[in-house]
Amino acid sequence: YLHFNQIETLEPESFTHLPKLERLFLHNNRIAHLIPGTFSHLESMKRLRLDSNALHCDCEILWLAELLKTYAESGNAQAAATCEYPRRIQGRSVATITPEELNCERPRITSEPQDVDVTSGNTVYFTCRAEGNPKPEIIWLRNNNELSMKEDSRLNLLDDGTLMIQNTQETDQGIYQCMAKNVAGEVKTQEVTLRYFESPARPSFVIHPQNTEVLVGESVTLECSAAGHPQPRITWTKGDRTPLPSDPRVTITPSGGLYIQNVKQEDSGEYTCFATNSIDNIHATAYIIVQALPQFTVTPQDKTVIEGQTVDFPCEAQGYPQPVIAWTKGGGQLSVDRRHLVLSSGTLRISRVALHDQGQYECQAVNIIGSQRIVVYLTVQPRVTPVFASVPSDMTVEVGTNVQIPCSAQGEPEPVITWNKDGVQVTESGKFHVSPEGFLTIRDVGTADEGRYECVARNTIGYSSVSMVLSVNVPNVSRNGDPFVQTSIVEAIATVDRAINSTRTHLFDSRPRSPNDLLALFRYPRDPYTVEQARAGEIFERTLQLIQDHVQDGLMVDLNGTSYHYNDLVSPQYLNLIANLSGCTAHRRVNNCSDMCFHQKYRTHDGTCNNLQHPMWGASLTAFERLLKSVYENGFNLPRGIEPRRLSNGYALPMPRLVSTTLIGTETVTPDDQYTHMLMQWGQFLDHDLDLTVAALSEARFSDGQHCSSVCTNDPPCFSIMIPPNDPRVRNGARCMFFVRSSPVCGSGMTSLLMNSVYPREQINQLTSYIDASNVYGSSDHEALEIRDLASQRGLLRQGIVQRSGKPLLPFATGPPTECMRDENESPIPCFLAGDQRSNEQLGLTSIHTLWFREHNRIATELLKLNPHWDGDTIYHETRKIVGAEMQHITFSHWLPKVFGEVGMKMLGEYKGYDPSVNSGITNEFATAAFRFGHTLINPFLYRLDENFEPIPQGHLPLHKAFFSPFRIVNEGGIDPLLRGFFGVAGKMRVPSQLLNTELTERLFSMARTVALDLAAMNIQRGRDHGIPPYHDFRVYCNLSSAQTFEDLKNEIKNPEIREKLSRLYGSPLNIDLFPALMVEDLVPGSRLGPTLMCLLSTQFRRIRDGDRLWYENPGVFTPAQLIQIKQTSLARVLCDNGDNITRVQHDVFRVAEFPHGYSSCEDIPKLDLRMWQDCCE
């Protein structure tokens, strides 16, 4: 109770310590002013009395009015206060006073603060001025919180309301606001910002990233944070500064760390953290090292090997760190010897495996994280050379029966069984069959099948052989065919002669009308002796055919071509009769080699008496030799594939024309970067020195005389090439291409005098098998005489028209119109006559023939000057001997090394002298398939170049315009332009997918409105006509792997498209014809041949050389001085001496050279010095 105490003022804190005060009586004092908040803490107040004081009611007292109103409203407390001043409201209760009555004013701002940017340690002023009644109080807020000036000595509120902040620091930054407040209300200014900038500072790392190891699949964080001003931005790169991959596994943490979940091996590597602000950019690197348990990437497999072989167990692993591979055997150490080797890749190689190497091997991959292990087993089989399980013994069998000779073998590896008869390998055919276990079946045994049979079992370890002798008993009983012999012979002679005569009339009494006629004329034998021998062979075979037909008619059963038992058809004495009556026996040459003075020095024209023990070896008009026994559908004479419905190894053989279009024909030519087109031309010229198969004399069927091209059947001698249904060539409704079979050797027999058995069909080589320049001189005395100029007695060859150059062309052939005058519009010029009847086939060949005929006359003329006492014959034979030697030298020293390459020349071997046990005869496989590889080297154009090696005005010739057109040599610049086109132009490279140019497969011998021939299809058909075994048998012969699937051919035929085409065409790899397979083999590096072809050609050329008694290097054939001269010779020299005007050549005309600097003057090419042939008279 403080009433009646003369109190004038009250301090605001007077009652703060009395929170429980309930009654405060201050009436009847002299209180004039009360400071706001004086009673604010009195929560328990019940009664307050302020009446009867000197209270001034102005704006300052409004807070009291508010308080009293609150009391009144709450009803908790009673209060009384009255105004004394101003007089107009004297006695009024304070609670009822309003601001308006007192003229109070809410604060209003008169001066606002502004944003400010500061750096550390400065002073900042925020101004704030306000007016109002009563005078407003200024309060400052930061980030909506009131600033307390007491707590921070750096903050000061100046009298005018300005906020002063001294010594600024980072914590001062934020949003500031000034509030002016009085009893009438309050007001705030706009918000302003204090931005604090440290002095710009370069980034610096607070946390450096550290190298971290982590296992695959775990998570990893590389920490990285930096300070600086402005605050640096953190980024990451990997490795050589490439950005991080966008991968959900990779994130950057708010603090700047790099976080990778589910770590993979590829996450390992160097990472760089960059901290960047406006001042600078810094970086730090660290490695994540991802460690991984070893994992095998290549696992070894169990192996079974034969002792002595080498075995590899590949074993590779990855992991981090890279695991080390360690091998153990049965848990223990590997043998420490040179045979056991762990390669750097981890592969365990055991060389020369021994039996005790068998067992379990463990490959371990180890790193610091852990290890993995894998187990394999090696089985070692002992090597066993083949051992025979069953062996054949000598047998005697009845003629005409089928016989099986047992033979089987065991060994490790499994041995392969082959059979030889009298030294020649037997192949699967209608005659012979070798069963899977090795038994040999011979069908329709005849006396021709008598002899020694050898069974050879071979494996990689070695071979064993065992042999037996087969004898054939011919009982003297009458045979089914005997009654038909007389009539059949008469009929055969009549039909064969009729067909031959109609063919001759067709060919020789008019101009050729079609490519068929050209081909027939081109191949028609000119020598009467040849014609007689071929006729006899046809009659002999036709007679047997007719007898067979008669017997079959009598039997009324169809033996469908497989069961011909010719040996059981006719008695032996009747076979002799057929041989006599058909003319076979009349044409047996009995050779008299008694003129040793001649035979020691010179060759015969027909090749006889070269081998004095076997005078017929290599002679003209004898059967081709064989590397493998023939394969005929019926074992006797029917070609493979003649019956389209017959399956071979489960598939029908494809039509040769389809093989040609699918596999062989090409428009594309890749030039040979090393060799000229002369490589091809010499090959053809050489071939025409070695072989010419006697063609059938008839182009008409023996059965009814119809021409083979008009009936698309396979009646002898026709063997038409059928045209597949959707072939581009089926115009004029042509269903087939003309083809007739080659003539058979008489009685299809060998040259045995006793015609008492039937032999498989063989074909006749019209030429000598030796390289003896028979293409210049002919292969019979008859041909040689036609070519020689006997009148002059100077040892010369006949010559034709002399050109402006002063040099003669070949003489023209006489007789009926020929293949060269096929078209009146072109020219009336007949064919040229040379030692080989094919000399006009294309102009390049003709020009080479011309070259060599001139070479003969050049040498002969010079020899006569040196030896005027020699007679014409001596000059002729000496010259012929030199020319033959030149050809041998060019072929073996200049041409073969390019075709064979180093590998082939090694296979050929060095010359070791004459070997009389070698038969030089040309093999059927060589003539029919292997040597025809030259067809793949033929350019589609014959280039014709003048003295400056520019095209001549008449231009180059497409090949099809160069066939049989000697008029172009006479009228279009002679032989030089053609010859320059051979040595001045690159040849065609044989690429397995570019074989024969379409000039040969689509336009061969083409004429208006006729079906042109296809050389590739003819080559394949000729192979079947001649009973050439399929490619697979020659792989075995040449020691290549045996191919059971087309994939097995991939070493020799690398191109998978070609293997796929072969598979589509042939179905089984055992069916592929020899010619196309040889053509698609990949070339042996450095050569122009595939492996099988190289084997076949090196065999043939070795025999030609080693079996020739008069081979130029055989001591005694020439004197050492003469031999040195012959070895000077080159085709370049022959071109210089015998061209019309060839003055510049390269030293080696088979090699491509640049004109002019790769060429030499003819003066610089070595010459043959003929003075070594001068007789020195005592």
The residue segments making up the domain with residue 583 are: 492-588+696-741
With a cut of 50, say whether residue 722 has pLDDT above it: yes
- Tell me what pLDDT residue 1177 has: 62
Percent of the chain surpassing pLDDT 70: 94
Residue 5 lies in a domain: no
Of residues 621 and 991, the one with the higher pLDDT is 621
Question: How much is the average pLDDT of 49-78?
Answer: 82
What's the pLDDT tens digit per position in 865-874? 999 999 999 9
* Closest C-alpha among 1033, 1020, 1019 to residue 629: 1033
CB 453 within 8 A of CB 392: yes
Task: Locate 739 and state its tokens.
Answer: 């083809």
| DSSP tag of 447 | G
pTM of the model: 0.66
Q: Domain containing 42 — which CATH number?
A: 3.80.10.10
Q: If you average pLDDT over residues 3-18, what whole number do you get?
A: 83
If one compares 10 and 371, the residue with the highest pLDDT of the two is 371
Q: Give the mean pLDDT of the chain.
A: 88
| Of 566 and 132, the one with more pLDDT | 132
Residue 688: active-site member: yes
pLDDT of residue 552: 65
CA angle 513, 514, 516 (to 5 degrees): 125
Same domain, residue pair 205 and 77: no
- Binding residue per annotation — 433? no
pLDDT one-digit tens code per residue, 674-719:
999 999 999 999 999 999 998 888 888 888 888 888 888 888 899 9
Type of residue found at 1018: M
pLDDT bin (cut points 50, 70, 90) of residue 893 is very high
Band of pLDDT at residue 1148, cut at 50, 70 and 90:
very high
Q: Which of 994, 745, 838 is nearest to 518 (CA)?
A: 838
Indicate if 440 and 390 belong to the same structural domain: yes
Are 362 and 397 in a shared domain?
Answer: no
What average pLDDT does range 633-650 have in this prediction? 86
Predicted local distance difference test score (pLDDT) of residue 753: 35
Distance, in Å, from the CA atom of 538 to the CA atom of 586, rounded to the nearest integer, reads 14
End residue of a domain, out of 326, 346, 381: 381
For the segment 60-88, the average pLDDT, to the nearest whole number, is: 83
CA dist 548 and 570 (Å) reads 9
So what's the pLDDT on residue 732? 59
Q: Which residues pair with 273 in a beta bridge?
A: 236, 284
Are 286 and 241 part of one and the same domain? yes
C-alpha 829/C-alpha 23 separation (Å) is 161
Determine contact, residues 304/353, Cβ cutoff 8 Å.
no
pLDDT, residue 1009, reads 44
Q: Which helix (H) or strand (E) element contains residue 202? A: strand 201-207
Residues 817-829: what's their mean pLDDT? 66
Q: Percent of the chain, pLDDT > 90?
A: 52
Look at residue 932 and tell me if it is in a domain.
no
**Which one-letter DSSP state was computed for residue 697?**
S
Residue range 296-304: mean pLDDT, rounded: 94
Window from 396-405, 515-524, 891-900 with minimum mean pLDDT: 515-524
Q: What is the pLDDT of residues 15-58, one digit of tens each?
A: 888 888 888 888 888 888 888 778 877 778 888 888 888 888 88
CB 904 within 8 A of CB 1089: yes
In-domain check, residue 802: no
**Cα separation of 208 and 856, whole Å?**
97
Q: 173 and 319 share a domain? A: no
Contact 965, 1006 (CB under 8 A): no
Q: 409 φ, ψ to 5°?
A: -145, 160
Q: Are residues 405 and 457 in the same domain?
A: yes
Task: Determine contact, residues 1144/981, Cβ cutoff 8 Å.
Answer: no
Pairing of strands 212-215, 281-298: parallel
The pLDDT of residue 445 = 85
Q: What are all long-range contacts of 1060-1066, with beta carbons under 8 Å and residues at least 24 apart?
A: 1061/662, 1061/663, 1062/663, 1064/662, 1065/654, 1065/658, 1065/659, 1065/662, 1065/663, 1066/651, 1066/653, 1066/654
pLDDT score of 231: 87
- Any bridge partners for residue 363, and if so which? 327, 374
Residue 320 lies in a domain: yes
In a domain, 1121, yes or no: no
Task: Please indicate, yes or no, if residue 262 is contained in any of the structural domains.
Answer: yes
Give the chain's domain count. 6
**Domain boundary, last residue among 172, 197, 222:** 197
In this structure, are residues 480 and 441 in contact, taking their beta carbons and an 8 Å threshold?
no
pLDDT of residue 306: 84
Q: For the domain that residue 418 is a member of, what is the CATH number?
A: 2.60.40.10
Q: Phi and psi at residue 346, in whole multiples of 5°?
A: 105, -10
In a domain, 781, yes or no: no
- Most confident segment among 445-449, 503-507, 661-665, 797-801: 797-801
Query: HEC states along 800-821?
Result: CCECCCCCECCCECCCCCCHHH
Q: Output phi, psi for 992, to 5 deg.
A: -55, -25
Q: Using the predicted structure, report yes or no on whether residue 434 has a pLDDT greater than 70.
A: yes
701 and 731 in a single domain? The answer is yes
Q: Are residues 151 and 280 in the same domain?
A: no
Q: Is residue 1156 domain-resident?
A: no
Q: Sorting pLDDT into bands at 50, 70 and 90, what band is 1064?
A: very high
Between residues 700 and 899, the one the model is more confident about: 899
Please, is 512 exposed, middle or buried when counting C-beta atoms within 10 Å of its C-beta (0-12, 13-18, 19+)?
A: buried
Catalytic residue among 605, 688, 956, 1032: 688
In the sheet that 250-252 helps form, which strands lie side by side, from edge to edge?
220-222, 258-260, 250-252
Which among 1139, 1143, 1167, 1171 has a CA at the least distance from the CA of 1155? 1143
* CA 40 – CA 33 distance, rounded (Å): 16
Helix axes 872-889, 843-866, angle to 10 degrees: 130
Count CB-CB contacts under 10 A for residue 136.
25
Segment 719-727 mean pLDDT: 88
The pLDDT of residue 131 is above 60? yes
- Find out whether 855 and 884 touch, Cβ atoms under 8 Å: no
Q: Which of 50-64, 772-786, 971-985, 1033-1047 has the lowest mean pLDDT?
A: 50-64
Residue with tokens 């041989």: 579
| The pLDDT value given to residue 746 | 75
Say whether both 500 and 581 belong to one domain: yes
Residues 192 and 274 placed together within one structural domain of the fold: no
| Best-predicted range by mean pLDDT (104-118, 120-134, 371-385, 849-863) | 849-863
Q: Residues 279-288: pLDDT tens digits?
A: 899 999 999 9
pLDDT for residue 587 is more than 60: no
* pLDDT number for residue 876: 98
Mind listing the pLDDT tens digit for each residue in 1080-1098? 999 999 999 999 999 999 9
Handedness of CA 497, 499, 503, 505 (dihedral sign): positive
Structure tokens at 1140: 């019309």
- What is the predicted pLDDT for the residue at 559? 40
Q: Are residues 499 and 583 in the same domain?
A: yes
Spatial separation of the C-alpha atoms in residues 1099 and 626, rounded to whole Å: 12
What's the rounded Cα separation, in Å, for the pair 1112 and 881? 9
Q: Of 264, 290, 316, which residue sits at a domain end?
A: 290
Asked if residue 448 and residue 580 are part of one domain, the reply reads: no
Q: How many helices (H) and strands (E) would you count in the chain?
A: 25, 56
Q: Where are the beta strands (DSSP E) in 391-531?
A: 395-398, 403-405, 408-412, 416-421, 424-425, 432-434, 440-442, 451-458, 463-473
Phi first, then psi: give them for residue 217, nearest 5 degrees.
95, -15
Check: CB of residue 1080 under 8 Å from CB of residue 1087: no
Q: Where are the beta strands (DSSP E) in 735-853?
A: 736-737, 764-765
The residue that leads in pLDDT, 920 or 72, is 920
